[in-house]
């Protein structure tokens, strides 16, 4: 059902509403929408699904869609899954459809979300900016949990924590970071490497540490101005 206000140029539609634009390649599904035609602004109420560029599935609530700016946003918890099974969970988000840029708060990114937890890499960020097309990002307060069998031992819990992070191409950098592969426990890990900067070069299959300290049970043991090792 729908109601159209001819004076205000506002359309309210209810019940299995579908908004489809073949040219700009998006479909939005909702139970209720309000379309402010003069402002080219659409609001949805309740659960909302959107398929963007035929590859990004948005599962959210109460979105605002600015058609002139091609900007989609919501202040409700959202999950986005792409066609490579990368999942983005956010407390709130803003997405620019043309640039494929996602901004959000309290973000959890999971690779291989279709597989078991032991085969996933899990990234957590306080906030960040992500390019969904090339997977580049810039983020703060970063925690990366690498799949458990990375070092061929599922008792490990390899992880890297940093105050900020950036990915450009196949190079990921974490600043003021700490790495360990020890199992999770309530105490400090048996060993860890703390560094001003940790860089992972996927092409060279190498992890590089700048100004790093090897710590054993939180006690500094060795200082390395520069240190590197092959990635798994």
Query: Nearest to residue 121, comparing CAs of 135, 100, 140, 103?
Result: 135
Cα angle for residues 114, 116, 119 (degrees, 5° grid):
95
**Phi and psi at residue 217, to the nearest 5°:** 45, 50
pLDDT, tens digit, 9 for 90 and up, residues 63-79:
999 999 999 999 999 99
Dihedral of CA atoms 43, 45, 47, 50 in degrees, nearest 10, equals: -20
pLDDT score of 181: 81
Intervals of the chain under pLDDT 50? none
Q: Is 208 helix (H, G, I), strand (E, B) or coil?
A: strand
The string of DSSP codes covering 52-105 is ETTTEEEEEES-EEETTTTEEEESS-EEEEETT--EEEESEEEEETTTTEEEEE
Q: Where are the alpha helices (DSSP H) in 102-207?
A: none
pLDDT, tens digit, 9 for 90 and up, residues 99-135:
999 999 999 999 888 877 767 788 999 999 999 999 9
What are 74-79's contacts with CB under 8 Å, separation 24+?
A: 74/48, 78/104
Taking the C-alpha atoms of residue 133 and residue 43, their distance in angstroms, rounded to an integer, is 26
Output the pTM of the full model.
Answer: 0.89
pLDDT score of 218: 81
pLDDT score of 22: 95
């Amino acid at each position: 059902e729908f109601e159209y206000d001819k004076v205000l140029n506002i359309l309210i539609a209810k019940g299995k509403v579908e908004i489809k634009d073949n040219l700009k390649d998006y479909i939005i599904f909702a139970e209720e929408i309000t379309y402010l035609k003069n402002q080219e602004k659409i609001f949805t109420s309740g659960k909302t699904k959107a398929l963007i560029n035929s590859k990004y599935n948005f599962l959210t609530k109460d979105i605002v869609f600015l058609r002139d700016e091609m900007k989609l946003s919501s202040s409700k918890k959202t999950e986005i899954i792409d066609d490579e099974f990368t999942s983005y969970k956010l407390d709130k988000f803003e997405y620019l459809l043309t640039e494929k840029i996602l901004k959000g708060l309290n973000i959890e990114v999971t690779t291989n979300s279709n597989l078991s937890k032991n085969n996933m890499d899990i990234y957590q960020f306080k906030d960040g900016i992500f390019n969904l097309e090339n997977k580049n990002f810039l983020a703060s307060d970063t925690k990366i949990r690498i799949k458990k069998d990375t070092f061929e031992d599922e008792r490990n819990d390899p992880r890297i924590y940093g105050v900020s992070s950036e990915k450009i191409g196949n190079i990921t950098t974490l600043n003021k970071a700490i790495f360990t592969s020890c199992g999770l426990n309530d105490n400090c890990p048996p060993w860890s490497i703390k560094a001003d900067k940790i860089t992972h070069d996927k092409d060279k299959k190498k992890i590089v540490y700048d100004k790093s300290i090897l710590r054993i049970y939180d006690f500094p043991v060795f200082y390395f101005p520069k240190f590197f090792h092959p990635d798994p």
